[in-house]
Amino acid sequence: MAVNIELEEENDSEIEYPLLMISGNSTIVLFVEDKKGFVIRKPTDKPVPVGDPNRTGEYSEGWVMSAFKPYNGKITISNK
């Protein structure tokens, strides 16, 4: 699997879901509504175990929204 990230300028518009958001540690989450979303990218040098809420693809309903801002870049997901 390959994930390619391209950053773009921030836009301070009102949040409309679904929305990609990024945290200060570069975790990217696809939010489907407030506090609820899927991990798209968790930056780490170590493998993340299956079932860990920070593993790519995992869903959580307890995200701290103040830790995120809208991600305005481009993400390409592919099976590589």
Rounded to two decimals, the pTM is 0.73
Flag whether 45 is in a domain. Answer: yes
At 25 the pLDDT is: 86
Classify residue 78: in a domain, yes or no. no
pLDDT in tens, 9-58: 555 567 899 999 999 988 999 999 999 999 998 776 567 677 676 678 88
Domain count, the chain: 1
Q: State the DSSP string of 62-73.
A: ---GGGEEE--S
What is the per-residue pLDDT across 63-79, written as a single tens digit (0 to 9) for each?
Answer: 999 999 999 898 888 88
Give the domain extent around 57. 2-7+16-73
